[in-house]
Amino acid sequence: MKIIRILFIALLVASCTTQAQVPPVNDQIVAASLAVPEEYRAEVTVLGYTSAGRIEVLKEGTNHLVCLADNPSNEGFSVACYHKDLDPYMARGRELREQGIGGQENLAKRQEEVEAGTLSWTSSQAVLYVLSGDDDAFDAESGTAESARLRYVIYVPYATAESTGLSALPTAPGAPWLMDGGTYRAHIMISPPAVN
């Protein structure tokens, strides 16, 4: 009986610890929304985390952007917002990661599905905003992430360095460049340098 009691207490403590790691819903919404220009923040859809670690819709939006809250189980702070046309692709990536399929294998699996026509992908240009920083980058009290850095990703399916005039490699801090050129995932990367 004593062992059962100890196991029950250990499970209760573990459950409380997991719940404590997940920020309140409003904090997740505010933090995730910081990745997009202010003019869009009030109308974005926000996906966030439950105490069980699952992703669910925390706020139903009315515009063209979907934001993903910071994953409390990952180190650092990282939120992202993307055009709603990218949502099936992004959701599939999360689903594959839950199955233990990450990195290049995850990308390869989604590419296979896009090319087979079983996974939706944008047929035109679409944006992804990523705001990231250290664990303490987001200040819930002020609703800001002053030390976080914003990166812009603009998907331009099948674009090439030749069709855009962009370099296929980073050339200077903050300069746009084309990554994955010639593929369905071709995208312009813009990573402004840190302000000291």
How far from the centroid of its chain's Cα atoms is residue 151's Cα?
11
| The pLDDT of residue 7 | 36
Q: How far is CA 78 from CA 4, 70, 144, 149, in A?
A: 39, 5, 13, 9
Tens of pLDDT, residue by residue over 135-166, are 999 999 999 999 999 999 999 999 999 999 99
For strands 65-68 and 45-49, give the pairing: parallel
Is 187 exposed, middle or buried (CB count within 10 Å of its CB: 0-12, 13-18, 19+)?
buried
Residue from 49, 51, 53, 92 nearest 67 by CA: 49
Q: What is the domain extent for residue 78?
A: 23-123
What are 81's strand-pairing partners?
67, 129
Does 2 score more than 50 pLDDT? Answer: no
| The pLDDT of residue 195 | 62
| The pLDDT of residue 6 | 38
Give a yes or no: residue 76 inside a domain: yes
Give a yes or no: residue 101 inside a domain: yes
How far from the centroid of its chain's Cα atoms is residue 116's Cα?
25
Beta carbons within 10 angstroms of residue 190's beta carbon: 14
Give a yes or no: residue 190 inside a domain: no
Question: What contacts 21, CB < 8 A, 6 or more positions away?
Answer: 72, 73
| The pLDDT of residue 8 | 40
Question: Residue 122 is encoded by which pair of tokens?
Answer: 């944008």
Give a yes or no: residue 82 inside a domain: yes
Give a yes or no: residue 70 inside a domain: yes
CA 109 to CA 67: how far, in whole Å?
23
Give a yes or no: residue 128 inside a domain: no
Tens of pLDDT, residue by residue over 25-77, are 999 999 999 999 999 999 999 999 998 888 999 999 999 999 999 999 999 99
Give a yes or no: residue 182 inside a domain: no
Instruction: Detail the DSSP E strand segments found in 70-147.
Output: 77-83, 126-133
CA 184 to CA 187: how far, in whole Å?
9
Number of domains in the chain: 1
Element (H, E) at 101: none
> pLDDT grade, residue 124 (50/70/90)?
confident
Question: What is the residue-averaged pLDDT of the chain?
Answer: 89
Element (H, E) at 188: strand 187-190
Does 193 score more than 90 pLDDT? Answer: no
Element (H, E) at 92: helix 87-98
| The pLDDT of residue 194 | 72
| The pLDDT of residue 21 | 86
Give a yes or no: residue 176 inside a domain: no
> pLDDT grade, residue 13 (50/70/90)?
very low
Question: Residue 39 is encoded by which pair of tokens?
Answer: 């003019």
